[in-house]
Amino acid sequence: MIPGLSGDLVTQVFLLVAAGFMLLAVAMFYRAIVGPTTQDRVLAVNVLGTNTVIVLALLAVGLGEQSLVDIALVYALLNFLMAVAISKFTVERGDVL
Amino acid sequence: MIETVRTGGIVLLVLAGLFFTLVSTTGVLRLPDVYSRAHTASQADTLGAGLTLAGVALALGWGTTTVKTVLLLVFVFATNPTAAHAISRAAHEEGIEPWTADDDRTDEELYEAARARVPDGGQTGGNTTTADEPGEQEETG
């Protein structure tokens, strides 16, 4: 486990908060499925990706797997690239950034 | 003593991050059009992510992983509003009008109006559509 951390309280809290973030991510699927415009869906998937990054960072502490932070870093990069690329290539003129 | 303060700070930061992400999720689910949804997704969600990652960095102590977590925090702070800006600018170039308070159309009807006005996928661009927008709103309101 992580050295110098007092007790199981922080681990329990991190796992519970990760479960809460998962619930919010599932709720965000409503906007990704229903949302009328393409941009609504891209926005919902972007927020979902941010939630995934946070859950990975929380599980890095909660499960004691510190390599999950590296996965979260790569996921954040790919998430940003996904949002910008879809915004750029779904409109005709394409100079969104 | 200092450990108690640190544990309390970690729990407080993570719970505040969960609260702000709850606010962001509520906004994305309930707000009326794509621009206001992009607003709440860029601001409240960035704040929630930043607070939670600060809690994670505080829990990890000193080390390489903490440096990576702080790097992730800075990256999320920079890229999340940028992505929301790109998405809402793409929506503007698609010709979608912003919802206003004296406008009782839903977001589906605004989307259909944008599709009807620009049938060939935004060739005429956003500038000409926004130029005649105030006149239309005065007539309907």
ipTM: 0.86
Q: Does residue A1 form part of some domain?
A: no
Shortest distance between the Cα of A41 and any Cα of chain B, in A, equals 10
Residue A57 inside a domain? The answer is yes
State pLDDT tens for residues B6-43: 999 999 999 999 999 999 999 999 988 899 999 999 99
The pLDDT of residue A7 is above 70: no
More confident residue, B2 or B71: B71
Q: How many domains does one find in chain B?
A: 1
- Label residue A20 by pLDDT band (50, 70, 90): very high
Angle between helices A68-90 and B64-93 (to 10 degrees): 10
Which residue, among A11, A74, A87, A88, would best test binding to B if mutated, counting the most B CBs under 10 Å from its CB?
A: A87
d(CA A36, CA A40): 7
In a domain, A3, yes or no: no
Query: Which has the closest alpha carbon to B100: B130, B139, B137?
Result: B137
**Mean pLDDT along residues B134-141:** 43
For chain A, what is the domain count?
A: 1
Between B114 and B33, name the one with better pLDDT: B33
Instruction: Give yes or no for residue A21 having a pLDDT over 60.
Output: yes
Contact B58, B5 (CB under 8 A): no
Residue A2 falls inside a structural domain: no
pLDDT of residue B129: 44
Give the residue numbers spanning the domain of B12.
2-140
Q: Is the pLDDT of residue B57 over 60?
A: yes
Which among A18, A33, A20 has a CA at the least distance from the CA of B29? Answer: A33
Q: Mutate which of A40, A52, A70, A75 to test chain B, going by most B C-beta atoms within 10 A?
A: A40
CB B61 within 8 A of CB A3: yes
Query: Which has more confidence, B42 or B119?
Result: B42
pLDDT in tens, B63-112: 899 999 999 999 999 999 999 999 998 888 888 888 888 877 777 777 77
Question: What pLDDT is stored for residue B82 in this prediction?
Answer: 93
Q: Residue B3: its pLDDT value, please?
A: 86
CA of A75 to nearest chain B CA: how many angstroms apart? 10
